[in-house]
Amino acid sequence: MIVILYLTMRTCSLCGKGTKIGRIRSHAQNRTPRTYKANVQKVTLVMGEDKISGQFCTKCLKRLKKETKDQQKTALN
């Protein structure tokens, strides 16, 4: 199975989270289109001897940070 992932600006390299389109509702119930942008950071991660660079959403960064912390903890035990 071949998976092709088209990456655009403001898209997470890991999970693919990107810009979503929605609407704002005013008190008078007027609809106005708007975009909800993902919090994407340009980061270079060092995992062991590997360096991974890309744009990652903060949720993925938090998960990767926790995984590396757990790996270090198990390596010490």
pLDDT tens digits for 5-43?
555 678 998 899 999 999 999 999 999 999 999 999 999
Residue range of the domain that includes 44: 20-76
| pLDDT score for 41 | 92
Is residue 41 domain-resident?
A: yes
The SS3 assignment for 48 reads coil
The SS3 assignment for 67 reads helix
Q: Which of 26, 13, 28 lies closest to 60 in space, CA to CA?
A: 13
Model-wide pTM > 0.75: no
| pLDDT score for 64 | 87
| pLDDT score for 60 | 92
Q: How many CA atoms lie less than 13 Å away from 71 in the CB half-sphere?
A: 8
Is residue 72 domain-resident?
A: yes
Is residue 63 domain-resident?
A: yes
Residues sharing a CB contact under 8 Å with residue 64, sequence separation 6 or more, in sequence order: 14, 45, 47, 56
Number of domains in the chain: 1
Is residue 31 domain-resident?
A: yes
